[in-house]
Amino acid sequence: MNRKILLLTLILSLTTLIAFAKTTITCSGSTTVLPIAQATAEAFMDGHPDINISIRGGGSGVGIAALINGTIDIACSSRPMKSKEITQAKSKGIEPIPYAIALDGIAVVVHPSNSISNLTIKQLKDIYTGKIKNWNELGGPNLPIVVISRDVSSGTFEVFNERVMAGAKVSSSAQLLASNNAVTTTVSTTPGAIGYAGLGFVSSKVKSVAIEKIIPSEQTVKDGTYKLARKLYMYTNGKAKGAVSQYIAFIQSSQGQKIVEKQGFISLN
Partner 1 sequence: MKKVILIALIGLILYLPLSSQELKITGEMWNRWTMEGGKAPGDSSNTILKNYFSLERGYLGLEPKFSETVKGRFTIDIFSSDASNDGAGLKLKYAYLDFSNLIPIPDLTTTIGLQKVYFGTIYDWNYDLIGKAPSDEYKIANSSDYGITFNGYIPKGWGEYALGIYNGEGYKNYGANLKDNIEPAFLANLRLTPVGGITIGGSIMANSNGRNKLLADNTTNPNYNQQLLTDGLLRLAYGPLDLWIEYLNKKVSYSEEFSIKDYTANCLSIFPTVKLKKLIGQDLDLVGRYDRWDETDNPANQNLLNCITAGLNYKFMHDESANPAMQLQLNYVYKYYDEEESSAQYANKLKDTSTLMLQLKWRFNNTITL
Which residues would be at the binding site for partner 1 (CB under 8 A)? 58, 61-62, 65-66, 69-72, 81-87, 89-96, 151-152, 161, 165, 167-170, 172, 176, 238
Find how far residue 57's CA is from the centre of its chain.
9
Q: Is the dihedral of CA 145, 150, 156, 162 positive or negative?
A: positive
The nearer residue to partner 1, 22 or 92, going by C-beta atoms, is 92
Closest CA to 38 of 47, 51, 27, 22: 27
Residue 105 β-bridge partners:
229
The nearer residue to partner 1, 85 or 104, going by C-beta atoms, is 85
Cα end-to-end distance, the chain, whole Å = 64
The nearer residue to partner 1, 75 or 132, going by C-beta atoms, is 75
The DSSP secondary-structure symbol of 72 reads -
- What distance in Å separates the CA atoms of residue 200 and residue 34, rounded to the nearest whole number? 11
The nearer residue to partner 1, 93 or 139, going by C-beta atoms, is 93
- What distance in Å separates the CA atoms of residue 240 and residue 17, rounded to the nearest whole number? 26
What is the closest distance, in whole angstroms, from the C-beta atom of residue 206 to partner 1 in the complex?
23
- What distance in Å separates the CA atoms of residue 172 and residue 175, rounded to the nearest whole number? 8
Alpha helices (H) in 21-106, listed in sequence order: 34-47, 60-68, 83-91
What is the closest distance, in whole angstroms, from the C-beta atom of residue 108 to partner 1 in the complex?
18
What is the closest distance, in whole angstroms, from the C-beta atom of residue 170 to partner 1 in the complex?
7
The nearer residue to partner 1, 92 or 122, going by C-beta atoms, is 92
What is the closest distance, in whole angstroms, from the C-beta atom of residue 178 to partner 1 in the complex?
10
What is the closest distance, in whole angstroms, from the C-beta atom of residue 117 to partner 1 in the complex?
28
